[in-house]
Chains A and B, each alone.
Chain A
Amino acid sequence: MDIAPEKPLIRLVTCGSVDDGKSTLTGRLLYELGAVFDDHLAQMQKEGQVDFAALSDGLSAEAEQGITIDVAHRYCETPAAKFIITDAPGHEEYTRNMVTAAADADIALILIDITRGISPQTLRHIHICHLLGLRRIVFVINKMDLVEYSRIEFNDISVEIDRLIDRLGLPDGCVIPISAVFGENLTQHSARMPWYDGHPLLQALLAPLPQKRVFDGFLMPVQYVARAPNDRRHYMGQAISGRIRARDPVVILPSGQVSRVAQLAGPDGPIENGQSGQALSVQLSDDVDCARGHVIASADTRPQMADQFEADIIWMQRSGLIPGRAYAMKIGAQWVNVRLAAPKYLVNVQTGDQLAAKSLGMNEIGRVVITIDRIIPFVPFDLSHYLGGFLLVDKVSNETAGAGMIRFALRRAQNIHWQGTDVTAADRARQLGQAPKVIWLTGLSGSGKSTIANALDRALLAQGRHSYLLDGDNIRHGLNKDLGFTQADRIENIRRVGEVARLMADAGLIVIAAFISPFAAERSMVRDMLPKGDFCEVHIDAPLQLCEARDVKGLYAKARRGEIKNFTGIDSPYEPPQNPDVYINTDQTPVDQAVALILEYLAH
């Protein structure tokens, strides 16, 4: 007996505006396919009628509000295929959940309520599905029962959809009139709509899909490196494209080292051939530099390498995109640091028009240039979601801030070479007889940063150390005199100072940097620029009232009078460090004691 007939797996997402009947369609389709158990059906009875939406609205808040908040995943099968149906929320507020539902789908069902036509939210969903590269978009015209299954009304909306398909350049889709509540045209041709000559929904779902485009060569991002005693290391990951055989030549990226496959194993042990989609474990014939996040590729067909890209981004965080700020980015199996430029344009999801914009707000979509802190192997999103799609994560809250799709590289690695130098940072540090450090003093204006920084600089000199003081005000007279005090400029100010501090530390110096540096994300950006352990964050703390009372430079008074905008503590926030390496409260700690605390930290 064939206990597990093998079938293709098709992933569907139901999209559309609130109340167009997505959850009802999902529930009804599951019911028609026999995927609803009797005890669940009994729980769905409401006043003698079956409430199909209750099947996928599984959260109590959803039942209370009668809306879908998050994605439900439901499973069913026919003799021909297995389906995963994800039911996407319709509210704009929950767009990030809709994107979650649609991201991995093959087919989008765009529901349209015939009595209400194409709504703005429906257009948003169509646009997102297109952007995500779904292979088929099926328009499902629901609630035909409310217009007495009228052919004329259906034809009117079909014409409108055809125009939309043309305008947005969507893949060919079909338009199907249904009634989700009554199950018309779902699994069988509806007797109520004899005039409709297309397929019922289920048949339309089973029609062959256009082939997925994939990268030609073998690619396997390394997820895990297992070290067995007295054995070669096992590089484990999933092949995302191509084929590989034992003894094939491969290249490790980004290092570019070349080796050969010594042993190949699949889920059931050693194999001769591996291919896309398989969980593999690879042993190489040479000792190479290969860690989690690196990519093993066929030596003859390599992916591109770059550190700057144009990408489409869907913003998901309540606070909008901040140009210049460092975000963590996950692409493939690795985390990198990335900075985003102001968007090239923002997409009006109603019209498809490209608009000028300075930022992206929550649920907005735009084209952005991104710059990564290192060169990475990648393939465009069209060829791989895993190595061409990425997440952007807020480095302080760890929330997912956005998701993006790499369209193409702007600056390819073949054009820029890192100039190798013979003398290393360690050589220089040894010559100076000290461990380089960046001592970063952060705090409100007037908290005492400059005073302490100066005293520390003198104390280090007295000890025979080589130090250099970078002071916020001084830097703004020279290197950063082109920058103002907007959020974007403040971020750029800190980025440049970070780069200078990095060069000086590389030269072996102990760098003292005294900057308000109000945002945790930028301080963390500087920490990430430096070798681990070289960044020492010192929080110079004093109550705002005290700083304002000191007002050495008269700035608080000006800010209070409205003569200076974006002044930290007055009309711009200060984010205090959560775990500073050294904490100094200048209200209680005299300068010499503050210096002693920092020196003590440096000594261990």
Chain B
Amino acid sequence: MHLDHLEAEAIFILREAIGEGRAPVMLFSAGKDSAVLLHLARKAFAPLIPPFALLHVDTTWKFRQMYAFRDQMAQAAGMPLIVHHNPDALAQGINPFDHGALHTDLWKTEGLRQALGAGGFDMIIGGARRDEEKSRAKERVFSHRNAQHRWDPKSQRPELWSLYNTRLSAGDSFRVFPLSNWTELDIWTYIAREHIDVPDLYFAQMRPTVLRDGQIFMVDDDRFLLRDGEQVQPRQIRFRTLGCYPLTAAMRSDAKTVTDVIAEMRQTRLSERAGRLIDADPAASMEMKKQEGYF
């Protein structure tokens, strides 16, 4: 019942964004939320191909498997895929080992602003959910951004009765979130119901790992800089969320199937983003990053 309701709501929001927008685009990061969003977009416009491109703002530091998954999904959907790399971050060799918060700032926030500016997009559809994080819990479904891509949480537009005020002044845009009311558990039960493909990284396997600051990281390629005394060891792990691999902690798990993952999630006492190091920096909270243009 409630999954049907959430599905209908998401399709409604997608059709509204495309019906009202001039230049829509969908952000696609190859994670589970992206996979569900793409699945919904294909349903919303079937039998036609969704009338917009997928945009991946890449950092070059995602898990290798995510790149393969991304290309495969875009091809299966028959939708154009735009991949953007911030040329400044590339030239300066910005990476998560040496540059800390600057990595997210330049590759993701600045990269996103560049890509959106270049495309002149007015409806930017993303898979963010309100249950992920406390500032996201405050955000509208059609979330207004000014010409500098800034979010002003203190003057959001009222949002009632699925009637969205989609009127924009020149240069402004909307971030549109069809999955606003979905919880992490809804995402997984829907993945199970609809047999949606997601990267294997969400399921437990023996993987090469190191233990760092009490958390487990996967050594996805030879760019991983080992500190003194760190040893690569195989551990049975999976990921609850996927980001840049050196910044995304894994969890020990035996959950090898979607059903296992759902059972495990019903037991867990930790939040979804507990393993995302970029959230923990108090000087760069999600709210601040969002105000600057981060998704």
Q: A59-B135, A393-B167 in contact; A6/B18 too (CB < 8 A)?
A: no
Main secondary structure of the interface of A (DSSP, over half): mixed
The reply to whether the CB of A69 lies closer than 8 angstroms to some CB of chain B is yes
Bound: A55/B18 CA distance, A: 34
Q: Are B271 and A40 in contact (CB under 8 A)?
A: yes
Contact B138–A279 (Cβ < 8 Å): no
**Contact B19–A333 (Cβ < 8 Å):** yes
- The proximity string for B residues 127-171 relative to A, scoring 1 for CB distances below 8 Å and 0 otherwise, is 000110111111010000000000001101111111111011100
A4, A74, A82, A389 interface centre (most CB from chain B within 10 Å) = A4
On chain B, the residues within 8 Å of A400 by CB distance are: 157-158, 165
- Residue of A8, A104, A278 near B1 (CB, 8 A) is A8
Contact B165 A58 (CB under 8 A): no
Contact residue among B138, B192, B270 (Cβ-Cβ distance under 8 Å from A72): B138
Q: How many residues of A contact B (CB 8 A)?
A: 67
Contact A58 B135 (CB under 8 A): yes
Q: Is A447's beta carbon under 8 Å from chain B? A: no
Q: Please report the C-alpha to C-alpha distance between residue A234 and residue B51 in the assembled complex, in whole angstroms.
A: 14
The answer to the question of B181 belonging to the interface, with a C-beta cut-off of 8 Å to chain A, is: yes
Find A236's partner among B15, B169, B181 (CB 8 Å cutoff): B15
* CA gap between A99 and B156 in the complex, in Å: 13
Closest to B129 in A: A75
Does the CB pair A238–B12 fall under 8 Å?
A: yes
Q: Which interface residue of B16, B154, B160 has the most chain A CB atoms within 10 A?
A: B160
Give every chain A residue within 8 A of B164 (Cβ-Cβ): 330
Q: How far is the CA of A391 from the CA of B164 in the complex (A)?
A: 8
B206 to chain A, nearest CB (A): 26
Per-residue A-contact encoding for B12-26, CB less than 8 Å = 1, 0 else: 100110110000000
Identify the closest chain B residue to A395 (Cβ): B167
Q: Could you tell me if B153 and A70 are in contact, using CB atoms closer than 8 angstroms?
A: yes
The size bracket of the interface on B is 35 or more
Contact of A267 among B2, B7, B131, B134 (CB under 8 A): B7
Q: Total number of A-B contacts with CB less than 8 angstroms? A: 174
> Quick check: is A37 within 8 A (CB to CB) of the other chain?
yes
Given the known interface contacts A6-B2, A70-B153, the answer about A1 and B44 at a Cβ–Cβ threshold of 8 Å is no
Question: Is B262 in contact with chain A by the CB < 8 A criterion?
Answer: yes
Q: B130 and A75: CB pair below 8 A? A: yes
CB of A3 within 8 A of CB of B137, answer no
Could you mark each residue 165-205 of chain B with 1 if its beta carbon is under 8 Å from any beta carbon of chain A, else 0? 10111000000000011010000011011000000000000
Residues in B neighbouring A104, C-beta threshold 8 A? 160-162
Contact B2–A58 (Cβ < 8 Å): no
List B contacts of A70 (CB < 8 A): 138, 153-154, 156
Known interface pairs A70-B153, A236-B15, A330-B165. Does A4 touch B3 (Cβ–Cβ under 8 Å)? yes
Q: Give the contacts of B1-39 with A (CB-CB under 8 A).
A: 1-5, 7-8, 11-12, 15-16, 18-19
Q: Given A39-B271, A265-B46, A267-B7, 13 more contacts at CB 8 Å?
A: A4-B189, A4-B262, A8-B1, A40-B271, A59-B287, A70-B156, A224-B18, A226-B45, A330-B163, A333-B16, A333-B19, A391-B165, A397-B169
Contacts A/B (CB < 8 Å), 10 sampled? A3-B259, A4-B262, A7-B2, A8-B1, A40-B271, A60-B288, A97-B158, A104-B162, A238-B11, A398-B165
Interface residues of B (CB under 8 A from A): 1-5, 7-8, 11-12, 15-16, 18-19, 43-48, 51, 130-131, 133-138, 140, 153-154, 156-165, 167-169, 180-181, 183, 189-190, 192-193, 258-259, 262-263, 268-271, 274, 285, 287-288
